[in-house]
Chains A and B, each alone.
Chain A
């Protein structure tokens, strides 16, 4: 069973950090460990596609397409981050930003963080789902406040408070779900696999209210506007590889939680209610993020707002509900995860060379770091939905579904905001990447592991764009299955 590898390896690695003193060596071991996790994730995903859902560990774990997919996404990003961390942490240690011991703490937290994220899609019980998500918050708060500067501690505080409040509402929603379940005269259970088959007999009014709490609660964690406020702070202050994890997959785990409850809602009362709410939040997120991206000065905050934008797109995709849109949204989850990770790695490299977050002060990245520069350039276009990169495909799928659904206004808004965001990106990145180097700038080499991480992610970005037409059948099939629960 691959799932034990997936959950076990991070735990083992976390324990072994106490015995490892050399961060260099540990970084590489860590990376190998996550390579194994990646393989396990892929084979799990494949296995689930062929066998359908599976329970494990006394029904404590429950795996179906959705969870296998999210585990796969997490494992991909986690591997990339582990790879990138080697060089990044080594550089930080080399520059004296953090001590050797703190590097060990980093790896400990990183592994715990990954473990908690892998737990989210794996658990069966909705209460445990909540616990796992809260765990991700608590652990990553340390990673956000890792550098112990005023800004990072402020960000960590806001992160932990806002997310905790949000998630408490999610717990409220969960309790209401269980209430709806209990008043329908069934035995007390919060297991998803028990609730879904009987979703249609649950009290609809209570479910409706409960879902609002769920949406606001997990939506806070997912970064849906207007509950997104913690997100740019936390993402901009976290250690660069962790920003990638936060943006790439942490948000998605919250989306996963919303989806889990959403599926119950869909089963119980049809699509409209779920769709309206998701699309509403999606559009608000897009609108707000586009404005902030436009006038942003901080590089990492810009990327954070872009995450809000993409979460908005994903939520619109799920909200639209056609198989094409669902497939698009799922793909978008993956595409955004890899692309945004790449961008955060690039931002990490840029910031560690220029020592600045302010984009107005960063010039000539392509000259200073040709490899990173070109990767960021291509990543930027990938992120804003240019072909031949993968996000284009998923956005087009969502747009197609929007038009086919006849929601023209929504589609027009989506196109409008995408254009604005694209313009803002080109505006910011064009100046930053090209142009002449600031005076007195020393050009230094880029670590190999960072380059490998870039190449790994970039091959996924490109590869998917090209390979997509050939995996089409599986994808739509999965989406279809997903809708049927």
Chain B
């Protein structure tokens, strides 16, 4: 079961990497978050930890519903071109993503000398998600893509935390969720401002400050 969930996480990440337009990207993020929710629920039932149920709930409320909703709202409100603005086209992005997957695998095999293949692959997938998030941030011009990239990275970390150390301490986890939510709100606020001042949200064109 875990394997299937992990595979869907991976698949949703690939989906995001090849997304060309914002709704697709947000949808990908939603899938991914949902998968993580399922994963956490599964783990919670397995370990019988009440903490994990709460965390899973938060995950569902924040990352599956609220944040994507907010993002959709922003897209609607600012009425800009929905293109992400790709530095690297989807095909090549996919290629990169595969390379990153491989690299993550190597990295996690080096990091953990463990015979448990599932642990290693979970680790690899977590690292891959972090990398994919960073990749999204670097290779997409839109400010929203950067927010989503950041969220993807965060998802990766969540996965990592729950695989390697069985999750962070409870209140830290809560604080992190809160933090992520606040940061999305604040970033959204800045996206509005950027749109207002520049009439676009293409951060690649934000280059007044040099040197």
Residue A363 is within 8 A (CB to CB) of chain B in the complex: no
Residue B153 is within 8 A (CB to CB) of chain A in the complex: yes
Give the most central of B112, B168, B187, B208: most A CB within 10 Å: B168
Please give the distance in Å from A232's CB to the nearest CB on chain B.
Answer: 7
Please give the distance in Å from A207's CB to the nearest CB on chain B.
Answer: 11
Q: Are B172 and A190 in contact (CB under 8 A)?
A: yes
Q: Are A295 and B165 in contact (CB under 8 A)?
A: no
Partner of A154, one of B150, B161, B169, B209: B209
Residue B137 is within 8 A (CB to CB) of chain A in the complex: yes
Q: Are B183 and A134 in contact (CB under 8 A)?
A: yes
Interface size, B (range):
35 or more
Residue B166 is within 8 A (CB to CB) of chain A in the complex: yes
In the complex, what residue of chain A is closest to B143 when comparing beta carbons? A157
Residue B72 is within 8 A (CB to CB) of chain A in the complex: no
Cα(A155)–Cα(B182), bound, Å? 19
Give per-residue flags for A127-139: 1 if the beta carbon is below 8 A from chain B beta carbons, else 0: 1101100110010
Residue B48 is within 8 A (CB to CB) of chain A in the complex: no
In the complex, what residue of chain A is closest to B187 when comparing beta carbons? A160
In the complex, what residue of chain A is closest to B147 when comparing beta carbons? A161
Q: Are A157 and B172 in contact (CB under 8 A)?
A: no
Residue B203 is within 8 A (CB to CB) of chain A in the complex: yes
Q: What residues of chain A lie closer than 8 Å to B187, measured between beta carbons?
A: 160-161
Q: Are A150 and B197 in contact (CB under 8 A)?
A: yes
Q: Are B179 and A172 in contact (CB under 8 A)?
A: no
Q: What residues of chain B lie closer than 8 Å to A131, measured between beta carbons?
A: 172, 175-176, 178-179
In the complex, what residue of chain B is closest to A156 when comparing beta carbons? B190
Q: Which of A218-271 contact B (CB under 8 A)?
A: 232-233, 236-237
Q: What residues of chain A lie closer than 8 Å to B208, measured between beta carbons?
A: 150-151, 154
- A138/B183 contact (C-beta < 8 A), A150-B208, A168-B153 known: yes
Please give the distance in Å from A449's CB to the nearest CB on chain B.
Answer: 30
Residue B62 is within 8 A (CB to CB) of chain A in the complex: no
Task: Flag the segment in A174-182, A422-430, A477-485 that touches B.
Answer: A174-182
In the complex, what residue of chain A is closest to B186 when comparing beta carbons? A138
Please give the distance in Å from B168's CB to the nearest CB on chain A.
Answer: 5
Please give the distance in Å from A227's CB to the nearest CB on chain B.
Answer: 13
Q: What residues of chain A lie closer than 8 Å to B171, measured between beta carbons?
A: 128
Residue A22 is within 8 A (CB to CB) of chain B in the complex: no
Q: Are A160 and B179 in contact (CB under 8 A)?
A: no
In the complex, what residue of chain B is closest to A190 when comparing beta carbons? B169
Partner of B211, one of A145, A175, A205, A301: A301
Q: What residues of chain A lie closer than 8 Å to B194, measured between beta carbons?
A: 153-154, 157
Give per-residue flags for B175-211: 1 if the beta carbon is below 8 A from chain A beta carbons, else 0: 1101100110011001001100110000100111101
Give per-residue flags for A390-431: 1 if the beta carbon is below 8 A from chain B beta carbons, else 0: 000000000000000000000000000000000000000000
Q: What residues of chain B lie closer than 8 Å to A237, measured between beta carbons?
A: 209
Q: Could you list 28 A-B pairs, sorted by A, with CB under 8 Å?
A: A125-B169, A125-B172, A127-B172, A127-B175, A128-B175, A131-B176, A135-B179, A138-B186, A145-B193, A149-B197, A150-B208, A155-B209, A157-B194, A157-B206, A160-B186, A165-B134, A168-B150, A168-B154, A171-B176, A175-B161, A175-B164, A179-B164, A188-B165, A190-B168, A205-B111, A292-B211, A295-B211, A301-B211
Can you list the 8 inter-chain pairs with the closest CB atoms, starting with the nearest? Answer: A127-B172, A179-B164, A131-B175, A233-B209, A154-B206, A182-B165, A178-B165, A179-B165
